[in-house]
Amino acid sequence: MSLSDHPKAYGTAALTAAFAAGILVTLGFKDFYPDLERRYQLQRKENKRRTSTSDSRRRSSVFFGGGGPVALEDHDTPDITPSIVDGIEGCIGNTPLIRIRSLSEATGCDILVKAEFLNGAGMSPKDRVALNMIQKAEEQGLLVPGRGDTIYEGTVGSTGISLATLAKARGYHAHICMPSDQSAEKVDLLHHLGATVERVTPAPIVDPNHYVNIARRRAAEHNASSETPSRGFFADQFESEANYEAHMLTTGPEIYAQTGGKIDAFVAGAGTGGTLSGVTRYLKVEKQLNNLRAVLADPYGSGGYNRIRSGVMYSPTEKEGTRRRSQVDSIVEGIGINRVTLNWKAGEKFVDDAVRVTDEQACRMARWLVQHDGIFVGSSSAVNCVAAVVTALGMPTGSVVVTVLCDPGMRHLSKFYKRVNELGLEENEEEESKHVVVAEKNNEGDLVASLGIEETLKVKRRGGGRSRDEEE
């Protein structure tokens, strides 16, 4: 007897077979397209955002008292907004603002650091500057992609790295002139980025063979040649308005937004003066934070400290009025200034105070940050953090102090961290680790003693600023 003789049995068998086939097809379809579900969930979230403004027009649920619409939530997909940036330029800016727990606990203030080493091109705040200088040059026709143009710059490293990276991304060559005493890591990185690196003997700015003057000369020689249609562009970071403007347009607004405008002090070093001037001008002029204290973090050998304190760009290590010498032998790279540049002048009148930081204090801070916070940064960042601590200890408890972490420590192994090791700060690692485990809370006394800033605090308090004793 066949199934055709029994229609009811035939129908049941057919339905069962169709159901089984449907299951198999569904499972196979899902296996064949493993990302289908993810795409569907992302689309659902996008649709939810687009229709969020029309919630008031939805029907109320009778099951919940006639209130607002029932919001269905997806708990399976991470709350990630899809975002694609165009090129490496899209990785510049919007860096995190990090609260350093150990320094904040010890000082009683919130010490926040702008993590500029997380910029995606050259891993420093110079990414912002380099991009702005290049864009402005393109707007003016000084640089044209694909023409074979070369960007020339005199730099101690970070600006050169940013320029070399962005030059490749936008179709240019980079020719970097830098002092021969800078760390080997920076030179090697520039070579790997395809830049031409011209290392020169350190000299004062009045010397024609100062690295900045050589870069300017190389650009002029390029333009004087008629062999190719290409042009040479001298970036001139020290005197370019695009430098401090980059920080007025991006860094300053980011800090203001991240703090909600609740910031009591901004601390930064000055190599060209761009970061300090740009951020300070934005916060004090654009946002009218009149009670904000802007503080220069200055290494020994730099004239900025005395310029702010006494009005004279002068370092005790040089005879006033000469300037025919190079900066004092310091392991700190990237900051320190001995002449009034356009970028310095743009914000000088808004700077309220200065803190001078020794090489040893910078080394001790670098070691402290590694040991207590797992933060590994370069010499200029360490100087900024020492100055931030000194500033915080002269302000009321609970104040918000913001500074900048400039570049990663990997670029300073052969020079700065070699000195850290020579000072014996990396010895007895096991004992230090035990100490950190026992001392869960950091206090002011330990921090001050570890950094060796007792005398610095005395000088700071003699020169103004509210001490904790006075506050209590």
3-state class (DSSP) for residue 139: helix
Spacing of C-alpha 80 from chain mean position: 23
126 sits in the region (left: phi over 0; alpha: psi -120 to 50; else beta) called: alpha
d(CA 299, CA 359) in angstroms, rounded, equals 7
Torsion of Cα atoms, 240 then 242 then 244 then 245, to 10°: 150
Contact (Cβ atoms closer than 8 angstroms) between residue 269 and residue 336: yes
d(CA 251, CA 246) in angstroms, rounded, equals 7
Q: What are the backbone dihedrals phi and psi of residue 389, each rounded to the nearest 5 degrees, phi first? A: -65, -45
DSSP state at residue 240: -
Active site residues: 126
Residues 6+ apart with CB under 8 A from 451: 361, 364, 365, 368, 386, 389
Residues 6+ apart with CB under 8 A from 327: 202, 301, 302, 336, 338
Radius of gyration of the chain (CA): 29
